[in-house]
Amino acid sequence: MRKNTAKIKNETKAKEYRRKLSIRKKVVGSAEAPRLCVTKTNKHLRVQAIDDVKSATIFSVQTYGKAKVADHANAEGAKKVGAAVAATLKKNNLSKAVFDRSGKQYTGVIKALADSIRENGIQI
């Protein structure tokens, strides 16, 4: 997974990759507290609940595809996605999770998503 950051020409992407590696050193999901891995693009937002012990994805919620929850990856869409993630975690009898922002800065959409998950009763 480790890539030489000198090969990444875009400075913003290099910083994001460096943050991603430092986060993944510390964050590990388990069956009791899965890792909520957030993938954000300009158009879409996806959250996967991952059990790192089994190396398996438990479920995913996104803003695209057949089972989409919201239309856009803005703050309102992030709140809807966060509520859907919390509801699915509660349905699976999970009350704790570990938040993995994948190198993205904790502002805007990422912050709205995390706050929405917390407001719906999941401990991050």
**Per-residue DSSP letter, 65:** S
Q: Which of 33, 61, 29 is nearest to 47 (CA)?
A: 61
Answer yes or no: is 108 within a domain: yes
Answer yes or no: is 40 within a domain: yes
pLDDT in tens, 6-30: 788 999 999 999 999 989 888 899 9
Q: Which of 67, 65, 63 is nearest to 80 (CA)?
A: 63
pLDDT in tens, 64-103: 998 899 999 999 999 999 999 999 999 999 999 999 999 8
* Residue type present at position 22: S
Answer yes or no: is 9 within a domain: no
Domain of residue 87 covers 28-119
Answer yes or no: is 19 within a domain: no
Coil, helix or strand for 110?
helix
Looking at the structure of the chain, the number of domains it has is 1
Answer yes or no: is 100 within a domain: yes
Answer yes or no: is 97 within a domain: yes
CA 123/CA 120 separation, integer angstroms: 9
CATH of the domain at 55: 3.30.420.100
Stated pTM of the model: 0.88
Q: Which of 35, 40, 34, 36 is nearest to 16 (CA)?
A: 40
